[in-house]
Amino acid sequence: MTNIDRPYCETLDAQDALASLRTEFHLPTGMIYLDGNSLGAQPKAAFERARHVIQEEWGNDLIKSWNKAGWFDLPSRLGNLLAPLIGAKAEEVVITDSTSINLFKAIAAALHLQAQKSDAETRKVIITERSNFPTDIYMAEGLTKWLDRGYRLHLIDSPDELASAIKHDTALVMLTHVNYRTGALHDMAKITVLAHAQGALCLWDLAHSAGAVEVDLHQANADFAVGCCYKYLNGGPGAPAFIWVPQRHQAQFHHPLTGWWGHAAPFAMQASFTATPDIRRALCGTQPIVSLAMIESGLTIFGKTTMAAVRQKSLALTDLFIQLVEARCARHQLGLVTPRHHAQRGSHVSFTHAHAYAVIQALIARGVVGDYREPGIMRFGFTPLYTSYAEVWDAVEILQEILDQKTYDANIQRHTVT
C-alpha cells in the first residue's frame, strides 16, 4: 500500500461525485466521525424542520396541525420517501414506533400467517443468528414465550448453517441484513429462496443496511422488513423506525398491537377494532411528531444521489480503511472481523484487538469517533454521504500512532457501557 498517501486520498475526494453532499451535514470541527452506523450525523436542515414544527405547527397552529400540517399522514408520507431506498413500493412502508416494537408486529404477523396453513402444528421454529442484535432475539423470545404455543427459537452460529437449518418445521427466518458487530452482509435473495422453498417466511431487519447498502426487497421477494431511521438515514437520535409490509401480505397482516391509529376509521370512535386494509394497520398509537418530522431532512439528501452511488463509495471507503489499517498497523495483532468480499460486507468495519476498548477511548480522545462492541471489537462506520477519503487516511494515521506509541491505557478495564 506504499502507493497510497494523503494526496492520493485527497484526489479521490476531488473526484468523488458525493463529496458535495457533505455540506448538507453539520459535522463538528476536529472530529472524524466514524459512528454513523450508530447515530447518523445531523442534516443541517433538521434544525429548521424542528423549529418549524415546534414554533409554527405546534406553537401557533396547535391542534389544527394534525390536519393542516399533515401530522396524521407523516408515518405514510415519510414511508413513501424511504421506500425507494429499500426497493419497496409506495404505500408499503410506514415510519412509526421503535424497531423493537415493529419487530414484534412483524414476527406476530408472520406467525399468524403460518398458523393458517395446514401444517401449522409442526411449523414452530423461528431461525435467527445468535449474533443478531439482541433486541431482535429478545422480541421473538418475548412473543413466543407469551403465546405459549410451542414456538421455539433456533439460534444458528454461522450463516452456513442456514441451508440445513431451514426445514419444513421453520415458520420464520428472521435475520439482520448487515450484522451490527461484524458488518457481514447476508445474501437476502438467496436466503429468501431457501426459506420459501421450505414454506418459511423471511423477515429482514435493515437497521444497518437502509441507506448504507443497496436493498431490493421486492427483487428478493422478502416477506417483511423493519429498520432504523437514526443510523445511516440520519433521522436524529432515537428517530422512529420503519416497517415494510408488501402489498401481497397487507390484508393478512395481523398483530396484537391494535391501537387506534391502525383502525379503519380512527375518529369514528367505535368500541371494537377493525383494521384498516392498508399499510397503516402497522400503526398503533400517536407518534412523536418532532422526532418523526426531522426524518424528512435525512431522507431528502438521499434524493440527490442513488443507492448505487452510495454503495460504490461505501465499498471504496471500507476497502481503503482495511488496506491502510492492515498495511500500517500490521505488527499490532488487529484481527479483521468484517468480510473482505464486497458481496458480504456492509458499511462498517470491525477489528479485534486485545485492548480494543482502551484503543477506542484513545481514538475518541484524539477526535476519531468509532465505538466498542462486546466482546473485544473496535467498530468503524463509513457513511458515504459525509465521510471523506482523507478522513479515512487521517483516522488510520491516528490509529497507527496510538498503537505504535502505546498511548492507550493498557490497564483500562473492558467496559460495558451503561
Residue stretches of the annotated binding site for pyridoxal 5'-phosphate: 99-100, 133-136, 176, 205, 208, 230, 260, 286
- 278 part of the active site: no
Beta-bridge partner residues of 348: 381
Which residue, 64 or 168, is less far from a second copy as judged by CB?
A: 64
Which residue, 329 or 395, is less far from a second copy as judged by CB?
A: 395
Which residue, 369 or 399, is less far from a second copy as judged by CB?
A: 369
Helix (H) or strand (E) holding 194: helix 188-197
- In the set 379, 382, 386, 389, the catalytic residue is 379
Q: Provide the minimum distance between the beta carbon of 3 and a second copy in the complex, in angstroms, as a whole number.
A: 33
Q: Provide the minimum distance between the beta carbon of 346 and a second copy in the complex, in angstroms, as a whole number.
A: 18
Which residue, 4 or 203, is less far from a second copy as judged by CB?
A: 203
- 231 part of the active site: yes
Q: Provide the minimum distance between the beta carbon of 249 and a second copy in the complex, in angstroms, as a whole number.
A: 18
- In the set 16, 35, 97, 205, the catalytic residue is 205
Pairing of strands 371-373, 335-336: unpaired
Which residue, 28 or 303, is less far from a second copy as judged by CB?
A: 28
Q: Can you read off the three cell numbers belonging to residue 290?
A: 418532532
- In the set 230, 253, 321, 380, the catalytic residue is 230
Q: Provide the minimum distance between the beta carbon of 288 and a second copy in the complex, in angstroms, as a whole number.
A: 3
- In the set 181, 231, 281, 366, the catalytic residue is 231
CB environment 106-115: b (16+ within 10 A), e (fewer): bbbbbbebbb
Helix (H) or strand (E) holding 154: strand 152-156
Measure the CA–CA gap between 124 and 126, rounded to whole angstroms.
7
Q: Under 8 Å CB-to-CB from 254, ≥6 apart: which residues?
A: 108, 109, 112, 275
Centroid of chain to Cα 244: 13
List the beta strands (DSSP E) in 250-370.
Answer: 335-336, 348-352, 368-369
- 133 part of the active site: yes
Q: Provide the minimum distance between the beta carbon of 261 and a second copy in the complex, in angstroms, as a whole number.
A: 8
Helix (H) or strand (E) holding 381: strand 377-381
Which residue, 7 or 59, is less far from a second copy as judged by CB?
A: 59
Residue positions in the annotated binding site? 99-100, 133-136, 176, 205, 208, 230, 260, 286
Q: Taking phi first (over 0 means left), then psi (-120 to 50 degrees means alpha), and beta for anything else, what does residue 385 get? A: alpha
Backbone angles phi, psi at 372, to 5 degrees: -105, 140
Measure the CA–CA gap between 50 and 53, rounded to whole angstroms.
5
Measure the CA–CA gap between 276 and 267, rounded to whole angstroms.
12
Q: Provide the minimum distance between the beta carbon of 31 and a second copy in the complex, in angstroms, as a whole number.
A: 8
Q: Which residues carry out catalysis?
A: 133, 205, 230-231, 379
